[in-house]
Chain A
């Protein structure tokens, strides 16, 4: 199995739960904070009259964030160890920024859930965990922080762990790890804590380094959305007709017979290129160019697959969605529907129920009611203008997710996960 050497993880939280301190420590202890950045942070902290170095200034890059002391938008931070490269999507925790949290979580392999050891599982923990589950993030790393303030007590850790297990029992999440830490003092962040010898697991950084991150897509059915057609019209490549795209699932080899949807035409793969280099086989996440053994009418948005691995097809789908825009959902509007590189039109034909992100209960809607507003998470039925080819989101992120674009403002107003 192909293992990725890039781990993308998301963190969500507010200022006081120690999230910034934890990120600051990961970056600082892995020597990813440079002297000039550190000097800037110290200067800014002093200017704000802070006694301690304010690590949140490392990730809160916008002027408004720095003056208000809150995280508004996703910030991406990078660090690497000799084993792996890490991309942190640091997202705001407040409920009004749910959409930003979902944005950061969409590409993550792991979610870091921070719990204040003094407070235990709180409303925000539920929301973050729910969103991580919704986005199907494979790994949950539950960091029980501020253990120093609870005298590094094992029972505190065990109680919170038990509470969290009750919370996730309904989610069916497979890979959950619990780590007792003190971000402030560095216990179990990079180095093993000397204060908690009862903890037998790995510190956070080593846990991240050893996460089993398979390219999810490589296990799944063969999928590639055509991005663009490459036709050089040059003397040397006069008849060259290449179909460019990124492997969204499975594998494609020279000689494989592919089915092209929606036309249902078939052809054999003649060549596979990555740049000018020829490949025998292409797997996720490579961006490649295919040539075929016959000339077919193929355009952007078409899906390459194999006859034994066909996707679902329908004009109607059910999805869990999140509304991202200040303008409410309008059942009369025909929205632009983007899945992979394909563009369709859709209407939301039925809203089944809302999700309460605090209690995780379903809230039924009144008859004919369509009060879907910013940050709402809901289940809906969508009707499409053409046949959609798709997978369930939990099977393939690329062929199971979509965005809705408002035809007037052109803004991305909603996202959805099919299934």
Chain B
């Protein structure tokens, strides 16, 4: 890595740490929304650096859809132990059991949209007033519009046309009872920045980001993992492929990419040459042109 790259990472890191410290100072019960994916791993690491030598002063919350990659859960539990932080797991299965949400049916059924209810219920139950997430503006066009301190009304909803002005580094986290904020410390990072930072800081990440052999089948142009939560169409055949994941969503809706990249450096090289966005591997974003905006308005991540 050359000197120039390190300098831009230094500036992004300083900005993110500033935002995380503001969250700690301005809110009573902040929580890190931890998915086990690379972005939430980076955010958690930034929180560690922001408060060293203290422990991270936030709870970690995982919204467990029940459709996770086993590697993610294993990684999550190891990290929580290492950092000595409190973990809250909110379960979509429980929301289904309690009749709060209804399982989708059909070949494209998944639990992505269901998570929003589980998330909002957990925020209310634990009285979290700031949810720190790893979303980035380069990921998706609706996210490109979102503030760093993003207000949610008492129904957990985002109102994109009435966002608070956000100038300089003056983040306004004042709110009324029952409202909360979503905080995005790595808003200004790109996928490449995240990987370069993981390399620089020598961070551990789940194995599924690296090239491995897996049973997959082709659906809507995506290599989907064979797992208990998918129903195969007659035309769909299980094959063994050398793949890796660019994002870490639910197993039935996250597409793998054919890849031989088995180190961070190789991943960086691969991403630099790639021609599709990482969200392109997510079936949840491909449902409609404004799928992300629609879900965000309702309270999604």
Contacts and interface: CB of A to CB of B under 8 A. Distances in A.
Given A37-B277, A61-B142, A73-B160, A401 B51 contact: no
Given A232-B53, A415-B167, 7 more contacts: A6-B8, A61-B143, A230-B53, A341-B22, A401-B168, A411-B164, A412-B167
Interface stretch (A98-106, A200-208, A262-270): A98-106
B48 to A, nearest CB: 8
Interface stretch (A78-86, A125-133, A180-188): A78-86
Contacts of B21: 227-228, 244-245, 287
A246 B169 contact: yes
Interface stretch (B62-70, B125-133, B170-178): B170-178
B280 interface: yes
Contacts of A287: 13-15, 17-18, 21, 50
A338 B52 contact: no
A409 to B, nearest CB: 8
8 contacts: A35-B276, A36-B277, A66-B290, A76-B188, A244-B51, A246-B14, A246-B17, A338-B170
Nearest to A85: B8
Given A74-B145, A78-B188, A411-B164, A234 B170 contact: no
A237 interface: yes
Nearest to B286: A36
Given A35-B276, A244-B50, A397 B168 contact: yes
Given A78-B137, A275-B52, A228 B144 contact: no
Contacts of A99: 165
Interface of A: 4-6, 34-37, 40, 44, 58-64, 66, 72-78, 80, 83-85, 87, 99-100, 102-103, 106-107, 227-228, 230-232, 234, 236-237, 240, 242, 244-246, 273-276, 285-287, 289, 300, 324, 336, 338-341, 397-398, 401-403, 405, 410-412, 415
Nearest to B176: A410
B12 A6 contact: yes
A410 B174 contact: yes
B54 A232 contact: yes
B141 interface: yes
Contacts of B24: 228
Q: Which of B50, B138, B141 has the most CB of A within 10 A?
A: B141
Interface in B243-301: 274-277, 280, 289-290, 293
Nearest to A285: B14
Interface string B36-56: 000000000000111111110
B169 A398 contact: yes
Given A40-B289, A230-B54, A285 B141 contact: no
Given A73-B145, A341-B25, A412 B290 contact: no
Contact of B174 (A59, A274, A336, A339): A336
A403 B172 contact: yes
Given A76-B137, A410-B176, A62 B145 contact: yes
Contacts of A62: 142, 145, 160-161, 293
Contact of A415 (B141, B163, B165, B192): B165
Given A230-B54, A287-B50, A77 B144 contact: yes
B4 interface: yes
Contacts of B175: 410
B71 interface: no
A400 B139 CA distance: 33
B81 interface: no
B25 A6 contact: no
A340 B169 CA distance: 8
